[in-house]
Amino acid sequence: MSNEDEFYDAVTGLDSDESYEGVSEASFKDALVFDSSSQKNNGSVLQENGIKKHRTSLPAPMFSRNTISIWSILKKCIGLELSKITMPIAFNEPLSFLQRITEYMEHTYLINRACSLSDSIERMQAVAAFAVSAVASQWDRTGKPFNPLLGETYELTREEQGFRLVSEQVSHHPPVSAFHAESLTGDFVFHGSIYPKLKFWGKSVEAEPKGTITLELLKHSETYTWSNPYCCVHNIILGKLWIEQYGTVEIVNHSTGDKCVLNFKPCGMFGKELHKVEGYIQDKSKKKLCVIYGKWTECMWSVDPQAYETHKKSEKKDNKKQKNEELEGAENDDADDMPEVQETVSVIPGSTLLWRIDSRPPQSAVMYNFTNFAMCLNELEHGMEAVLAPTDCRFRPDIRAMENGDIDLASKEKERLEEKQRAARKERAKNDEEWSTRWFQLGTNPYTGSQDWIYSGGYFNRNYQDLPDIY
């Protein structure tokens, strides 16, 4: 046995002939090969052009979930809201939900594109593409992010993408995460508060989108609002986990009255609609100006409505015979098998590409299916300890232990933090004290009239006195 084999077995805890949830031994070894340059400065170095290079791998690959029986936990929860149910850490991924929502910013270039465009309809197209891209990172991400502790925060500055973001867990029951991102050059502000409701339906877990997302393009004095689609993880009990997004997303330009209506399609009986998104942009008089179509896992295109309708009519004729043949072969399996993903989006002549997903790193499959952007969200770079707020997710010991592959320690730390949070809540109740948020205040979204958490400013002044001791 080579030294490489011994190292591989020691890290994974597997013998050379054991399998790992369908991932080959070779894939594991590939996942353990790190770019040596990414090890300097605690995972972050400067490239020759002066742009910071972030890590491309996690410290350890993910571990097997095969030994955990989720059914023993969930069988009494059918139809119930899951925020108060303690789940085994084996079903987590090493990120807090605050870090997960930061993944909205992966395709910030689409906001920057919208800022640069002079035509309002073209701006709406870029904003619509951004709204779709914001959920693209969820493709095959079946791990559950850690529930943020009350008072937990996260910040991210990306000079190369031109933004900085801060988020805070502002409520525990119900769990509410508020975030505020802004352009480093003053071009936009992007903010919202998210409180997803999770329900278990026997074979699947459904996340209902709650909360409003607001994007302000300051140069154009325009404000857009929308909510995310539903998300469903199938085969929680039996079979291969797979994710579906569905529901209608309405993006409203409150300055012009234009609206984009996007339909995230459910996969349907034979999976032909899997991952598909179709919609249109209309002006304030409800005239359709363009059609938007594609897949949230792949790409989005825009085309003239007349060209779209002509294409759809010819497509229906081609599919009529095939539909009758497929109906004869329908089966009902115990698991909701994921339909075969159809080949790339059929591009209608005359279409304009709005967005295309970035490829994932080669080791993504054994690292929680993270994107390149997600891979570096928990990176603790050299010097960060002196700058970050002590409530930042990067200092959470349970997430850090899981990222490092120490599952026993992660589980113990998660339990300790939850008990500490409960004790603090009891102490406040005993003293008749109300929890006070630090960076966000409950208010009203001026564009929708709905309740929202508004950033009160001051975080980046680095005045971190009187922050709660949550870790």
* Domain coordinates in residue numbering, the chain: 34-320+341-461
Q: Which CATH class is domain 34-320+341-461?
A: mainly beta
* CA geometry: angle 383, 385, 387, nearest 5 deg: 80
What pTM was computed for the model?
Answer: 0.82
Dist CA 443 CA 97 (whole Å): 22
Q: Minimal CA–CA distance to 438: which of 417, 461, 418, 468? A: 468
What integer is the mean pLDDT of 240-250?
84
Contacts of 116 (CB under 8 A, 6+ apart): none
Write the pLDDT tens digit of every residue in 84-141: 556 678 789 999 999 999 999 999 999 999 999 999 999 999 999 999 999 998 888 8
| Selection from 80-94, 211-225, 308-322 with the highest mean pLDDT | 211-225
What integer is the mean pLDDT of 419-438?
94
Whether cis (ω within 30° of 0) applies to the bond prior to 174 is yes
Tell me, rounded to whole angstroms, the distance of Cα 126 from its chain centroid: 19
The per-residue pLDDT of the chain, averaged, comes to: 82
- String of b and e for 133-161 (b: at least 16 CB within 10 Å)? bbbbbbbbbbbbbbbbbbbbbbbbebeeb
Minimum mean pLDDT among 310-319, 399-408, 415-424: which range? Answer: 310-319
Judged against a pLDDT cut of 50, whether residue 38 lies above it is answered with no
Judged against a pLDDT cut of 50, whether residue 286 lies above it is answered with yes
Judged against a pLDDT cut of 50, whether residue 204 lies above it is answered with yes
